[in-house]
Structure 1
Amino acid sequence: MEHITRVNDIVKHFRETRLNNLRPASEFFNHRQLSRPADLNQATERISYNTRYFAGNYGILIAMLAVYALITNVWLLFAIGFLFGGFTAINRFVTEPIEIAGSVVTPKGLYMSLFVIGIPLLWFAAPLSTLFWIVGASLFCILFHASLLEPGLESEYSNIQDTV
């Protein structure tokens, strides 16, 4: 029961800190504010402002790309499910040594068997290439969007608020 309340607290904290910064989709996808930056300096200023302003939206974008990467990499999804499912099953059902076909099997032996099978399966699923794809796709989408979207009027007054 403690784990459930802890997870609820984490989700509540995440919702309060990250999801409060979500901007409406009409503002995030406002095609009227799209323009090519004049130079690298302007692109850098836009990226700096937009990454802070749309941080919650970009977080959702990264999460969606991660879910897409997991769904499309069936081997990785299977390997993660196998390892977490095996770990959960051993924790829940095998708390002390059991006897199977005349031999004693300990939870430690089951964990070793799980990792001997699961780690090569995970290696075969190429999690690092999936991680690098998520990072690369996220960087491309975020930098592309942030550099093309002109900041709103409130960005002109952000420097004044900082100095006061």
Structure 2
Amino acid sequence: MEHVMRVSETLKAFRETRLSALRPPSEFFDFHRLSRPADMNQATSRITYNTRYFSGNYGVIFAMLAVYAMLTNPLLLIALGFLVGGFTAINKFAPEPTQVGDYVVTQKSLYIGLFVIGIPLLWFSSPLSTLFWIVGASGLLIMGHAAIMEPGIESEYATVQDAV
């Protein structure tokens, strides 16, 4: 029960911190504020401001791309499910050694079997290429959006408030 309370507190803290930073879609997709930056300095200042201002929206984009990548790589889902499920099953159902015929099955031998099957399965599912795809795709989308989106009028007041 304590574990459930800890998870619920973590989700509540996540909702209060990250999801409260979500900007409405009408603001995030405001096509009237799209323009090409004049130079690299303007692009850099836009990226700096917009990554802070739209941080919640960019987090949602990253999460959606991660879910998409996982769903389009079923072998990776199977490998991760096998490993996580194996760890959970071994910890829950086999904490003590068990006698099977003439052989004693220990937690250590179960973990070795899990790794012998799970690690090659994970290797063939190409988790690194999936990770690099997620980072590259989200980086391209986020930096592209942040560079071409002009900061709103509230950005002028943010610099005045910082100076005061």
- TM-score in terms of structure 1 length: 0.96
Give the aligned residue type for 1:139: G
Q: Which residue of 1 aligns with 2:111?
A: 111
CA distance in 2, matches of 1:13, 1:128: 30
The Cα shift of 1:140 comes to: 0.1
CA distance in 1, matches of 2:47, 2:90: 48
Give the aligned residue type for 1:127: P
Written as runs of structure 1 = structure 2, the 5 A alignment for 1:37-56 is: 37-56=37-56
Q: Which residue of 1 aligns with 2:36?
A: 36
CA distance in 1, matches of 2:83, 2:124: 14
Residue 61 (str. 1) matches residue 27 (str. 2): no
CA distance in 2, matches of 1:26, 1:119: 45
Structure 1: unaligned runs, 5 residues or longer: none
- TM-score in terms of structure 2 length: 0.96
**Percentage identity across paired residues of the two chains:** 66
CA distance in 2, matches of 1:159, 1:96: 62
CA distance in 2, matches of 1:125, 1:4: 32
CA distance in 1, matches of 2:128, 2:77: 13
What RMSD over aligned residues (CA atoms) do the two structures have, in Å?
1.0
Residue 123 (str. 1) matches residue 123 (str. 2): yes
CA distance in 2, matches of 1:148, 1:40: 12
Give the aligned residue type for 1:132: F
Q: Runs ≥4 in structure 1, deviation > 3 angstroms?
A: none
CA distance in 2, matches of 1:101, 1:16: 55
Structure 2: unaligned runs, 5 residues or longer: none
Residue 75 (str. 1) matches residue 75 (str. 2): yes
The Cα shift of 1:100 comes to: 2.3
